[in-house]
Amino acid sequence: MADFFEYTTEDPTTDEFGSGYTDDYDGSSTSGLCEKSGVRDFRAQYEPPLFWVIFVLGAMGNLMVVWIYTTVRHRLKTMTDMYLLNLAVADLLFLGTLPFWAADALKGWEFGLGFCKVVSAVYKINFFSSMLLLTCISVDRYISIVQVTKAHNLKGKRLFYSKLACLGVWTISILLALPEFIFAQVKKGQQDLSFCTMVYGVNLHNRTKILVLSLQICMGFCLPLVVMTLCYSVIVKTLMQARSFEKHKALRVILAVVAVFVLSQLPYNSLLVIEASQAANITITTCSLVKQFDVAGQVAKSLAYTHACINPLLYVFIGVRFRRDLVSMLKRCSCALGRQGSLSKTVPKRPSVMSDTESTPVLSL
């Protein structure tokens, strides 16, 4: 992964935030060079342990989701089931790239050009697919809660539509990740270290980079945020009119879903906007300020990655039906180990805000 701002007065081919580290110097001082070994050292100390923590925690949660859906439930019953399973797979593939980026931060890229392109593309495919699947979930919950009659009429076809939606999400994500296949390169840095980074080519100037960053900001943040805000705003209005003891819990969970998305993704995408502006018109020319943005970029990036750990908690484990399946699986494991009855406590069966049961569409989310 790279410094956030990397540009030189001789070569305008800057790399995108989070896709490699090109050099120790930037053309931002009076001499044309800005020494950035301190940023590289910060990255080497900060990213590897944090990425491994995110990888372990996220893998545990998302593997549990995949295990429940493929072994306990045996079949997917709702659109939400389909989206959540695909979201877990996307998060797992995304998390699978973090050990490589951790190694890249610590000792440079040692896996070759082909693997650099593959890992960069897989990282971006699953970044986009995760964000777009969150968008699909919000639309599905809107239909289930607000458009109850339409949801009931389409009950037999909704699972088929969800498969088409997931196919569309993966297709769009692959297309959006094509720049990673094309422009990802292994570039030599200081101290004989190589780094996997985006190199757009001098003849293209910065127009390609601006386009790539704009697509990431629009499709990876703005579109999901707008759709989630609109859908959940109407859902909240509908829940406020409902007379149920679950109403306040529903509102709290909706607030948590939106707040976590905004808090984890807004800093990252705000800095991407600055990076795109910098590519269009270099206005930050102070070396110290450039290095401050580089460090801020590393922190914002890691904050955005934590969403892969939080997704299972927000979108799955809060659901009553999923918790019931989880307890059922743990009971089976307990019986297999000769510890029957150790998990005798049952989960309350009242509908939950995150429950995806078909029988309680008003409070399903």
Domain boundaries, the chain: 25-336
What per-residue confidence (pLDDT) applies to 355? 44
Q: How far apart are CA 283 and CA 145, in angstroms?
A: 48
Tell me the pLDDT tens digit for each residue of 288-346. Answer: 888 888 888 888 988 888 888 888 887 766 666 667 777 777 777 766 666 544 444 44
- 3-class DSSP state of 47: helix
Classify residue 78 as left (phi > 0), alpha (psi -120 to 50) or beta: beta
Tell me the pLDDT tens digit for each residue of 156-166. Answer: 777 788 889 99
Token readout for 87 is: 């979201």
Per-residue pLDDT band at 71 (split at 50, 70, 90): confident
Q: What does R_g of the chain's alpha carbons equal in angstroms?
A: 23
Sign of the CA dihedral with 264 first, then 265, 266, and 267 last: positive
Tell me the pLDDT tens digit for each residue of 277-292. Answer: 877 776 666 788 888 8
Q: How far apart are CA 158 and CA 165, in angstroms?
A: 10
What fold is seen in the domain 25-336?
Rhopdopsin 7-helix transmembrane proteins (1.20.1070)
Question: How many other C-beta atoms can be found within 10 angstroms of the C-beta atom of residue 245?
Answer: 7
Q: How far apart are CA 101 and CA 51, in angstroms?
A: 8
Looking at the chain, list the stretches that DSSP marks H as alpha helix, in order from N- to C-terminal side: 37-67, 79-107, 112-145, 148-153, 158-176, 178-183, 207-217, 223-240, 247-280, 287-305, 307-312, 320-336
Q: How far apart are CA 279 and CA 15, in angstroms?
A: 10
Across-strand partners of 188?
Answer: 194
> At residue 364, what are phi and psi to the nearest 5 degrees?
-80, 150
**Angle (deg, nearest 10), helices 158-176 and 79-107:** 20
Instruction: Report the range of poorest mean pLDDT among 104-118, 216-230, 345-359.
Output: 345-359
Q: Identify the burial level of 261 via C-beta atoms within 10 angstroms of its C-beta, where 0-12 means exposed, 13-18 middle and 19 or more buried.
A: buried
What is the 8-class DSSP label of residue 348?
P
Q: How far apart are CA 169 and CA 44, in angstroms?
A: 34
What per-residue confidence (pLDDT) applies to 51? 93
- Residues 186/194, Cβ–Cβ less than 8 Å: yes
Task: Give the global pTM.
Answer: 0.78
What per-residue confidence (pLDDT) applies to 74? 61
- 3-class DSSP state of 360: coil
Tell me the pLDDT tens digit for each residue of 97-136. Answer: 999 999 988 888 988 899 999 999 998 998 899 899 989 9
Structure-model confidence comparison of residues 82 and 245, the more confident one: 82
- Residues 227/138, Cβ–Cβ less than 8 Å: yes
What per-residue confidence (pLDDT) applies to 145? 82
Measured CA angle at 108 (ends 30, 54), to 5 deg:
105
- Residues 192/113, Cβ–Cβ less than 8 Å: no
Q: How far apart are CA 207 and CA 338, in angstroms?
A: 64
Cβ burial 53-81 (10 Å sphere, 16+ → b, else e): ebbebbbebbebbbebbeeeeeebebbbb
Q: What is the mean pLDDT of the chain?
A: 76
> At residue 188, what are phi and psi to the nearest 5 degrees?
-75, 135
